[in-house]
A and B are shown apart, each in its own frame.
Chain A
Amino acid sequence: SQELEQSPQSLIVQEGKNLTINCTSSKTLYGLYWYKQKYGEGLIFLMMLQKGGEEKSHEKITAKLDEKKQQSSLHITASQPSHAGIYLCGADRSGGSNYKLTFGKGTLLTVNP
């Protein structure tokens, strides 16, 4: 089974709709990073979560880490075409090292105008 699972694999929404992407780990998450990737480009850092129950927001994107620190969600409110891309989560499950980050396979988001 996947050690770090993202769901859904892909998502098509109408502009203006809300959506949620999940990242689930079989192990405790000491840190969880959300990135966005556009085709042909690098990954752009969105948010980092480290504490159980932590929630961070930037513009219309909110990321949460559950109390048990095994699941994170990324929520986009009133989606826009500019939100389209691939969203990846990266997990620190070793306790404080970037060398052992595990990345999810990504969620492809399409926003139709």
Chain B
Amino acid sequence: NAGVTQTPKFRILKIGQSMTLQCAQDMNHNYMYWYRQDPGMGLKLIYYSVGAGITDKGEVPNGYNVSRSTTEDFPLRLELAAPSQTSVYFCASSYSSPGPLHFGNGTRLTVT
């Protein structure tokens, strides 16, 4: 049972490039989330999804897009990367809301 799997683990982007952060879970959870974690700051919610086909903005959605075509996958798209998007990105899922989140190991992204 893999839990929540994120790829890649590390990535360096140039300003203006685009990329997709992948997230997959095998726990059949309906709820999925994307967070970013910056040094000295708490986790900030970017986007979340309550089920396949349904997504909504979190606290810091600007510069990002998501899709949820299946229960298992919740990719995060960065268009026109900016230095302010340098961060560690975590994907998480939960069986219920409220309920404990299960996190992936994160993607460390640097935009230069």
The answer to whether B100 touches A45 (Cβ under 8 A) is yes
Which single residue of chain B is at the shortest CB-CB distance from A98?
B97
CA distance A45 to B90 in the complex (A): 14
Which single residue of chain B is at the shortest CB-CB distance from A91?
B42
Checking B42, B90, B103 against A102 with a beta-carbon cut-off of 8 angstroms, the contacting residue is B42
Could you mark each residue 83-108 of chain B with 1 if its beta carbon is under 8 Å from any beta carbon of chain A, else 0? 00000001010100111111111100
Which single residue of chain A is at the shortest CB-CB distance from B50?
A99
CA distance A106 to B41 in the complex (A): 8
The answer to whether B98 touches A42 (Cβ under 8 A) is no
Q: From residue 43 to 89 of chain B, which have CB atoms closer than 8 A to chain A? A: 43, 45, 48, 56, 58
The answer to whether B99 touches A42 (Cβ under 8 A) is no
Checking A4, A41, A50, A97 against B97 with a beta-carbon cut-off of 8 angstroms, the contacting residue is A97
Interface size band for A? 20 to 34
- Cβ contacts under 8 Å, B48 to chain A: 98-99
The answer to whether B101 touches A45 (Cβ under 8 A) is yes
CA distance A90 to B100 in the complex (A): 10
- Cβ contacts under 8 Å, A96 to chain B: 97-98
Q: Give the 8 A-B residue pairs with the shortest CB-CB distance, closest first.
A: A42-B103, A103-B42, A98-B97, A103-B43, A43-B103, A45-B100, A42-B105, A31-B98
Binding site for A on B (CB under 8 A): 4, 31, 33, 40-43, 45, 48, 56, 58, 90, 92, 94, 97-106
What are 29 contact pairs spanning A and B, CB under 8 A? A4-B42, A30-B98, A31-B98, A33-B101, A35-B103, A40-B105, A42-B105, A42-B106, A43-B92, A43-B101, A48-B100, A50-B98, A88-B42, A90-B43, A92-B98, A96-B97, A98-B94, A98-B97, A98-B99, A99-B45, A99-B58, A99-B97, A101-B45, A101-B101, A103-B42, A103-B43, A105-B41, A105-B42, A106-B42
**19 further interface pairs, Cβ-Cβ under 8 Å (given A33-B100, A43-B90, A92-B98):** A30-B98, A31-B98, A33-B101, A42-B105, A45-B101, A48-B99, A50-B98, A90-B43, A96-B97, A96-B98, A97-B97, A98-B48, A98-B98, A99-B48, A99-B58, A103-B42, A104-B42, A105-B40, A105-B41
